[in-house]
Chains A and B, each alone.
Chain A
Amino acid sequence: MSVDRKTVAKIASLARIKMDEEELDRMVPEFNNIIAFVEQLGEVDTSGVEPMTAVIPQALRLRDDVVDADPLTGGNVREKVLANAPLAEHGFFAVPKVIE
């Protein structure tokens, strides 16, 4: 199945990647080559086959309900959380104004 330019543009928008006309021109055939390549999978009879859920079968472990038990995954690290922010003010991340 061939994917048209409009679809690629829509996917790019969904993925929040701005693309100009020239980039789209380049992307459409590449995109289609890859899609054609992966579509080989359609040949495989997978009736009765379960999709893989865990590559190495093991149970999901659950964590105890303890606050800041491990400083690496706990809170109260605002300085660290904001350290790399492109724009932070008054302890918040700042972004262009959003209208809801």
Chain B
Amino acid sequence: MTELTNLGVRAIRDGVAAGDFTAREVAEAFNANVAAAADLNAFVIATPEKAIEAAEKVDADRAAGKPLGSMAGVPIGMKDLFATRGVQTTAASHILESFVPEYESTVSQKLWDAGAGMLGKLNMDQFAMGSSNETSYFSNVISPWRRNDGGNAPLAPGGSSGGSSAAVAARLCPAATGTDTGGSIRQPAAFTGITGIKPTYGRCSRWGIVAFASSLDQAGPMARDVTDCAIMLGAMAGFDPKDSTSLDLPVPDWAGSLDSDLRGKKVGIPREYRMDGMDAEIARSWDDGVAWLKDAGAEVVEISLPHTKYALPAYYIIAPAEASSNLARYDGVRYGLRDLPQGANLQDMYAATRAAGFGDEVKRRILIGTYVLSAGFYDAYYTQAMKVRTLIRNDFEKAFEECDVILAPTAPSAAFALGEKVDDPISMYLNDVFAVPASLAGLPAMSVPAGLSSAGLPLGLQIIGKAFDEQGVLNAGLAIEQRAGFTAQPEKWW
């Protein structure tokens, strides 16, 4: 049965529909892989019974001749940021360790409605704050990839959706949900040789997703290829009246409209992304991408995004500011951890609970966010950052007058070793330097595998599209995928 776990979303769905195998067989195969991969620490909790239950329903529906959903029979991993009714939802934090929601997030519900089943809740950076998965309370995820230097140094799967990326790359699930606030889908996808797309802000409902930074958070799929991402995104997206920022637009048939013929399309290459001291392998991979897109018929033009340099500092004001407020609800009163020292009053209880419940990176960001919003500093930091955010969006708008999509690297390097950057927050933040601008502008962006570094590690290319133009992004991604011929897989060591 092991070959079933080599199949992606479309192959599983079509195979189940055709009767080549049952959904239950698929679920069992992936459950077995999950159970055998404890070394990767990709899951906070496995839910094999949920996967089986969903699969049996699909098999029964098929037997009864009922119509099957777009994800029917596909077991997936669910990032532990999505509230799942009756299943612990921790955001990889001690403060939510005991939390079992009484509700289901809109996005996960849509996936179950489309016939998907849940293999388990995926590990991640605590409250989605991190780029290496080292901020999880439940210990870091280890990438299934290893450098080809024989050193076997454990590598970061990227973050914050590192459980998702590791699990998909290691064939523990054919696809997983991710969330992307400043690169948290794209960077881990790039680090692990898989594909992931962050849609336009508002495409996927945020209702029931533990909030990090509300104006930036977007859910998206992480899967093995562009087609699988298109199928899964179609199941996740859609208007939700419970989310004020949800886009009231029909969901296009992205998967059905995939087309890698880019004739007549213009691809923009942002001058400012070619930074001093850029990793030569990253630069080469970017050049490969340019050549592939030209080969697909696109015209390549140079564009300028003049405020690129300021995206990361703006992000590290806006995201912590929103987070400092969004995370105020974790106070030990209504759910989650409560630390009530002997004789403590209410405010002492808050301070003790939050000290015990939040990890260092979360605390760091809450403090930064609290500081930049505090009296006397608000305008200098927050208002200035929101003005810069306007400039960054304007940069993109202007650039998109000259091109249809933008091609850039996803991350400035291949995966780094665990522990390598953990003591230097700024160098960790710099990992998202190419990912953050699209987040600040709310634009759809995806990462597709583009090849291997000399150390044998995957490199990703990023495609950024116009608002609402996920199709353009997916099409360009498909063109790259077809030409990159990326078939590498991590060698199983776990």
Query: Are A84 and B334 within 8 A (Cβ)?
Result: yes
Q: Are B442 and A56 in contact (CB under 8 A)?
A: yes
- Are B347 and A56 neighbours in the complex by a CB distance under 8 Å? no
Contact with B along A57-72 (1 / 0, CB 8 A): 0101101000000101
Determine the distance from Cα of A58 to Cα of B368 in the docked complex, in whole angstroms.
Answer: 30
Judging by beta carbons under 8 Å apart, are A35 and B314 in contact?
A: no
Q: Given known contacts A55-B441, A61-B244, is B368 in contact with A34 (CB within 8 Å)?
A: yes
Is A91 among interface residues, defined by CB-CB distance under 8 A?
Answer: no
Q: Are A18 and B391 in contact (CB under 8 A)?
A: no
Q: Does B98 contact A (CB under 8 A)?
A: yes
Please determine whether B374 and A14 come into contact, CB atoms closer than 8 angstroms: yes
Chain A residues, CB < 8 A from B366: 15, 17
B351 on the A face (CB < 8 A): yes
**Which of B99-107, B176-184, B404-412 is the contact stretch?**
B99-107
Would you call B201 an interface residue if the criterion is a C-beta within 8 Å of the partner chain's C-beta atoms? yes
Q: Is the CB of B200 within 8 A of A41?
A: no
Interface size on B, residues (CB 8 A): 77
Q: Is the CB of A46 within 8 A of B351?
A: no
Chain A residues with CB under 8 Å of B216's CB are 55
Whether A16 contacts B425 by the Cβ 8 Å rule is: no
- Docked complex Cα distance between A14 and B460 (Å): 41
Distance of B346 from chain A, by nearest CB (Å): 5
Contact with A along B217-247 (1 / 0, CB 8 A): 0000000000000000000000001101101
Instruction: Report the bound CA distance from A35 to B385 in whole Å.
Output: 13
* Contact A38:B388 (CB < 8 A) given known A14-B370, A73-B242: no
Q: How far is the CB of B457 from chain A (nearest CB, A)?
A: 27
In the complex, A31→B351 CA distance in Å?
Answer: 19
Knowing A40-B310, A84-B100 touch, does A16 contact B334 (C-beta < 8 A)?
Answer: no
Residues of A within 8 A of B316 (CB): 34, 37-38
The reply on B317 being an interface residue by CB < 8 A is yes
CA distance A46 to B310 in the complex (A): 12
Q: Verify B367–A8 contact, CB threshold 8 A.
A: yes
Contact residues in A for B312 (Cβ distance below 8 Å)? 37
* Contact across chains for A70 and B242 when beta carbons are under 8 A apart: yes
Which residue on A lies nearest to B392, using beta carbons?
A: A52
- Min CB distance, A63 to chain B, in Å? 7
Q: Report the separation of the CA atoms of residues A27 and B358 in the bound assembly, to the nearest whole angstrom.
A: 14
Q: Does B300 contact A (CB under 8 A)?
A: no
**Structural contact, B367 and A46, CB atoms closer than 8 A:** no
Give me 16 A-to-B residue pairs in the complex whose CB atoms sit less than 8 angstroms apart, sorted by A's number. Answer: A8-B367, A17-B354, A37-B316, A41-B388, A46-B388, A52-B386, A55-B442, A56-B200, A58-B202, A58-B247, A70-B241, A73-B242, A84-B334, A86-B333, A86-B336, A96-B349
Additional pairs, 19, CB under 8 Å, beyond known A16-B328, A98-B346: A11-B374, A14-B370, A33-B425, A38-B314, A41-B314, A44-B310, A44-B384, A46-B384, A46-B387, A51-B383, A55-B216, A70-B241, A70-B242, A72-B103, A80-B103, A81-B334, A84-B334, A84-B335, A98-B345
Question: Which A residues form the contact surface with B (CB < 8 A)?
Answer: 3, 7-8, 11-19, 27, 30-31, 33-35, 37-44, 46, 49-52, 54-56, 58, 60-61, 63, 70, 72-73, 77, 79-81, 83-87, 93, 95-98
